[in-house]
A and B are shown apart, each in its own frame.
Chain A
Amino acid sequence: MKKIQAFLFSQKIAPYVFILPFIVSLSFFWIYPMYSTINMSFHNIGNGYSEYIGLANYEKLLGDKVFHIAVRNSVIYTIFTLIILIPIPMLCAFLLNSKSVVGKRIYKSIIYLPALVSVVVAGILFRYMFSEMDTGLMNQILNFFGLESKQWLKNWGTGMFALLLLATWRWTGVNTLYFEAGLSSIDEVLYESAKVDGANAWQRFWHITLPLLKPTRIYVTTISIYAGLAMFLESFMIYGSNNSPKNIGLTIVGYLYRRGIEKNDLGYASAVGLVLLIVALSISMVYLVSSGMFKKEAK
């Protein structure tokens, strides 16, 4: 009995007991499926059969033009979301944090509202907005300025624009909130002393806010990389299905879905999923290492 008590009260054991639920759920929902996916990616799977085919799925992926389109789309989308959804929300947060802005909470609520709208609803809304008919909102705007209607969702550039606009509309508020939280942890004293030293607003932003927001920046960038590469539903809803003209809206996850579910080819889909994991992990790791996230803090 005493032994058990000693075991439970041991300072060395306790932390492991506390993180046990996490480890258990991680093994159930991550490690096992992960093992399964790796295993399946070496098989050709169909109804009632599963044969080992070695690296054939990966070899096929190398020459798969549609997969390459999907990867290109996902990567470009991710890069653009990073370019848009880091600086703009940061600026919004900085402005909202400024003491001279009145009614900032109302602004905050307004920019956060789109995040509460479901992707399905937002996607359908954008599909109608970007309709190629003259009655579509975007075409009405173009016509108002004397420009001709566009086939928004049929061309790569304008299709990507629709996807990015949707992402910007939905996520600016959320990222702004993250940066707000980061800003509130910066000591006011720093700004005051900078002011005393004669630093203007831009200098204060550049030399105090930006460096001290680094942890938040890293966090937001990392989750944005993941969100960008994992994007699927937005495109699915805007195009009304997983099919877009010339695959301009196809993403890696969309391709995984097409292969695994629509074409009942789970082995190949597993290979696609693993490539996505590797791409996402490597981009994130390169970013985290280069941003010094893993360096020990200076004593």
Chain B
Amino acid sequence: MVKEYNIVITGVGGQGILTAANLLGWAALHAGYKVRVGEVHGMSQRFGSVIAYVRFGEDVYGAMVPEGKADVILAFEPVEALRYINYLKEGGLVIANSNPIPPVQVSMGLATYPSMEEIKKIIEEDFKGKLITLDAEKLALEAGNVITTNVVLIGALTQTPGFPLSEEHVKEVIRLSVPKKAVDVNMKAFELGVKAAKELLGL
């Protein structure tokens, strides 16, 4: 049992972030932990930047991860990893989906979208974290449905060194949660995420 484990999930409203947070919360509950999941609802969800927190351990209280305390940032969109990078602890890991969704402000020329090199540099040099990126959307499509992008990323997350929940355990919660006809697609998406993370982490 870990004392405290903190996951920050970020992305764009509509990408299945809250579902991912809820799934991880249930997996932690089934593993016997005390759990807190913090979410954003209402207007802020509509294609805006979204952050959710999943915390579990022997003693967790508040639903928000404090700055500098996230073991992992799971980003559904690359620039959203950067937006919340202040949550990452030193030596923490960022798993990011590599598909950018440029905000309307960028298309309008009111803002620019940073390059992947810039994002990587800030995460690794300024915040002393490690970044791995994977094309989760492509893997989800390969599994059979782009809607499983969040499950690809969860699969990848389970490979994080020191991740306290077992792969089987998380899979079981997903299996029980999704509609019956979608179980196979989701399991395939999970496996593809696991495989990609193993390669990227050199496991």
The answer to whether A and B assemble together is no
- Chain B residues within CB distance 8 Å of chain A: none
